[in-house]
Amino acid sequence: MASEEQRNGAGPPSASDAPAHVGPSNPDQIIVHPDQMSFGDLLGAPTAPLPDLKVDNEPQVATPRGTWRVVALADLHLDTPFAWAPDAVGRLRRQDLRDALVAAVDLAAEVGADALLLAGDLYEHERLNPDTAAFLERVLNGAEVPVLVSPGNHDWLAPSSVWATASWDEHVHIFEGQQLERFEVGGGLSVWGAAHHRPAGTSGFLENTNVSGPGVNLGLFHGSEVSGMHYEGRDEAGRSKQPHAPFEAAMIPEVGLDHAVVGHFHRRREGTHHTYPGNPVALAFGEPGDGGAVVLDIGLDGRVHRQWHRVSARPMTDLSLDVTGCADASAIVSELRRESLGLTGLLRVTVTGELASGVTLVDSDIAAAVAASVDHSVVRRKKLFVGYDLDLVGNESSVRGEFVRSVLSDDQLDDDLRRDVISTGLRALEGRDDLDVAR
Ligand SMILES: [Mn+2]
């Protein structure tokens, strides 16, 4: 009955999953994201990907390093408030965000990267607290490889930005211009980056630009690949992603870049000429959570080979609990205990289906039934309704029957509302206080 809608972030353990992996202590252990297959499914068969999208569904193993190697990370969103979570859980998740940055910095050292590339939205300007600013400064200054940063629309380069105010060591380079500027990493590797100077309205970085130089030229910026907008979809409030600093994938080779590491889209994307690392730590339930730190090996011909590394140990999992057929509240609890067995991290339980009319459903009882291995769970109700036999009740010669007949004949109501009105009214007539099960 219950089924898992999707598994976010690191994914809960199962027989086939590798253990969650924080801080790549073993660089040979390449963690393939468990959502990789579903990402492939979304795009169609791996043999027929959409234009300029490449999804590598082959089991990934360590490969010989290319001529150049960089590690890329983006869209961490440090200090996200996590409004859906109690304070303690929000703090836990904000620590997860920090842990992911540390893991990416460690990864860059362990794989011997030529540089760590940060493609913006590492934090959110209006929320950044001094502790996080100090954390960023300490961790990036402590990196063993060059760190290059192109600020995004959330961590835009304001005069008060941590990018502008911290004392960065020499190996940390912040791209400050609004046009792509070259930074020579060395060994024939040049990175071209730029900064957002405002939270919105930044125009594309690839307009009227040409880069050239020996070796390989990588782009590093925060922007929206216009053909990718529809992959992002809308958030739960129906808002679509804003087209900050738009560009077309085809422009990357046209301006002379071999490849671009780009932030902003929270789904990871592997284009022919660009890579979105995606957000490495899921920020909300329902997000694909398929991002991570990506190791890019770049050959002499500019082609890249990508290996994805999980840098977040705590998954966010959606569990759909269909209560249809559960005759009593304890049957629902038993079902949830069974379904949540072995899950870890953060869990959202969506209670759905037909609730038996005698059952009193209490969210806190549902949350309490979740397996103890889960750190925190939230409960919501969606498309939940009470199973009344309306033919039966509607034929009664009673107040109940009259009520049901009048609501059924009201053609101003749509079907969902009619069902909810009947359910709420019948429960009121029964003298219950849990009237609105759907809310
Ligand atoms: Mn962004």
Q: 382 alpha carbon to ligand 1 midpoint, in Å?
A: 30
Give the Å distance between the CA of 123 and the centre of ligand 1. 10
pLDDT-derived band at 234, boundaries 50, 70, 90:
low
Residue from 289, 366, 300 nearest 35 by CA:
289
Mean pLDDT, residues 336-350 taken together: 96
pLDDT at 126 over 90: yes
What pLDDT sits at residue 212? 85
pLDDT at 7: 38
Mean pLDDT, to the nearest integer, of 213-237? 79
CA angle 50, 56, 61 (to 5 degrees): 175
Domains parsed from the chain with CATH numbers: 21-309 (3.60.21.10), 316-429 (no CATH)
Could you tell me which residue, 127 or 52, shows the higher pLDDT?
Answer: 127
Question: What is the per-residue pLDDT for 389?
Answer: 86
Token readout for 412 is 């101003």
CA of 18 to the centre of ligand 1 (A): 30
Distance 275 CA to ligand 1 centre (A): 15
Whether the pLDDT of residue 286 is over 90: the answer is no
Query: 165 C-alpha vs ligand 1 centroid, how far in Å?
Result: 21
What mean pLDDT comes out for the span 170-195?
A: 96
Residue at token pair 């999953």: 17
- d(Cα 228, Cα 246) in Å, to the nearest integer? 10
pLDDT band at residue 27 under the 50/70/90 scheme:
very low
Work out whether strand 3-7 and strand 316-322 pair parallel, antiparallel, or are unpaired: antiparallel
Q: How close is the Cα of 371 to the center of ligand 1, in Å? A: 35
Burial environment of residue 228 by CB neighbours within 10 A (0 to 12, 13 to 18, 19 or more): buried
269-270: strand order across its sheet: 181-186, 189-193, 216-222, 259-263, 274-276, 269-270
Nearby residues of 219 by Cβ (< 8 Å), 6 or more positions away: 180, 191, 192, 193, 205, 206, 211, 252, 257, 259, 260, 261, 262, 274
378 CA from centroid of ligand 1 (Å): 27
Q: How high is the pLDDT of residue 231? A: 54
CA of 151 to the centre of ligand 1 (A): 9
Confidence of residue 155 (pLDDT cuts 50, 70, 90): very high
CA of 296 to the centre of ligand 1 (A): 21
Please state the rounded mean pLDDT for residues 396-420. 91
Res 242: pLDDT: 60
CA of 397 to the centre of ligand 1 (A): 61
Ligand 1 centroid distance, CA of 152 (Å): 6
Ligand 1 centroid – CA 291 distance (Å): 14
Q: Using the mean position of ligand 1's atoms as its centre, give its distance from the Cα of residue 393 in Å.
A: 54
CA of residue 339 to ligand 1 center, whole Å? 35
Supply the pLDDT for residue 366.
94
What percent of the chain is modeled with pLDDT above 90? 67
Question: 351 C-alpha vs ligand 1 centroid, how far in Å?
Answer: 32
What pLDDT, on a 0 to 100 scale, did the predictor assign at position 388?
87
Q: What is the pLDDT of residue 25?
A: 36
pLDDT at 26 over 50: no
Q: How far is the CA of 33 from the centre of ligand 1 (A)?
A: 22
Q: CB–CB of 154/180 below 8 Å?
A: no
How much of the chain, in percent, has pLDDT values that exceed 70?
81
Sequence letter at residue 54: K
C-alpha count within 13 angstroms, C-beta hemisphere, residue 320: 14
Nearest CA among 304, 303, 302, 338 for reference residue 322: 338
> What residues are neighbours of ligand 1 (ion), with CB under 5 Å?
121, 152-153, 264
Between the CA of 196 and the centroid of ligand 1 the distance, in Å, is 10
Distance (angstroms) between ligand 1 centre and the Cα of 99 equals 20
Determine the distance separating the centroid of ligand 1 and the alpha carbon of 207, expressed in angstroms: 19
**265 confidence band (pLDDT: 50, 70, 90):** very high
Give 89 Cα–ligand 1 centroid separation in angstroms.
Answer: 24
Mean pLDDT, residues 339-367: 94
Gap from CA of 257 to ligand 1 centroid (Å): 21
Average pLDDT, integer, range 199-203: 92
Q: Does the structure show a pLDDT above 90 at 2?
A: no
pLDDT of residue 240: 60
Q: What per-residue confidence (pLDDT) applies to 46?
A: 31
Per-residue pLDDT reduced to its tens digit, 369-389: 999 999 999 999 998 988 888
Q: What is the mean pLDDT of residues 160-169?
A: 97
pLDDT tens track for 94-123 = 999 999 999 999 999 999 999 999 999 999
> Residue 58 pLDDT more than 90?
no
